Amino acid sequence: MKKVLLVCILLNHFLSFSQKSVQFSDPLPFGSNSQLTTEKIHFGKYKSSDSEVTYVIDEKGISIVTLAIASITREQVRESSKLQVRGDYLFGIKTNDSVPCVLEGENYYYGIESKLMIAGEGSLNTFTKITANKYIINFHEGSYFEPSLVIFTGGKMTIIHSDLAYQSLFSSILQIKTITRYGSAVAILAPTFEQWEQLEKALFNGRKLIYTKE
């Protein structure tokens, strides 16, 4: 009977442990100053063969650029007073500009770029510098933060999103409260600057997303 009780206690502890996740009360590393963007040497466009996303880094910050494919019929172009095709470019979709287009059958296909600032000017997220080649994007989620690591080396940008599943290491970090999000418990942690090195190793051990500078 005691063995059954012990197994139940351990199982309940494991389930509650595995379902719990974490967020952070302040941007990481704690006490670091925020900034708009990276060092100038990292400015440029970064692409990956595994993704349609392009990252753009400039003096305003870091943005994600995606391309949405749309189409319009030849008849619509003919009947429109605003639309006009000249060669491989469609005019009238963007104000005072054209977009490349391709004619297939009776449809012109074109792409519209969408730009989202994820760090820097106009973004709610907080961008902090660890070294000249290593940064943290602290994504603002509700009232708290979820960090992602950004590393630059050899003309490449590597992004590692944090593993926010609760780990035993987190028990040594000040927990200021627990909230419920999407039906699961979330521990809100407030680590000190001295705990950062150990915390960094625990958080960023997952998949590396690698983008090459153009």
pLDDT by residue (tens digit) across 125-149? 999 999 999 999 999 998 999 999 9
pLDDT greater than 70 at residue 81: yes
pTM over 0.75: yes
Give the mean pLDDT of 139-164.
Answer: 96
pLDDT greater than 90 at residue 17: no
> What is residue 9's predicted lDDT score, i.e. its pLDDT?
36
Q: How far apart are CA 101 and CA 63, in angstroms?
A: 24
pLDDT greater than 90 at residue 116: yes
The 3-state DSSP class for residue 7 equals helix
Which pair of tokens denotes residue 76?
A: 């619509």
> What is residue 19's predicted lDDT score, i.e. its pLDDT?
66
Q: What is the DSSP letter of 88?
A: T
Pairing of strands 144-153, 134-141: antiparallel
pLDDT greater than 60 at residue 7: no
pLDDT band at 95 (very low <50, low <70, confident <90, very high): confident
> What is residue 83's predicted lDDT score, i.e. its pLDDT?
95
Q: How far apart are CA 23 and CA 113, in angstroms?
A: 32
Which pair of tokens denotes residue 191?
A: 């680590």
> What is residue 2's predicted lDDT score, i.e. its pLDDT?
38
Lowest mean pLDDT among 23-27, 42-46, 75-79, 96-100: 96-100
Q: How far apart are CA 31 and CA 207, in angstroms?
A: 27
Q: What is the mean pLDDT of the chain?
A: 90
pLDDT band at 11 (very low <50, low <70, confident <90, very high): very low
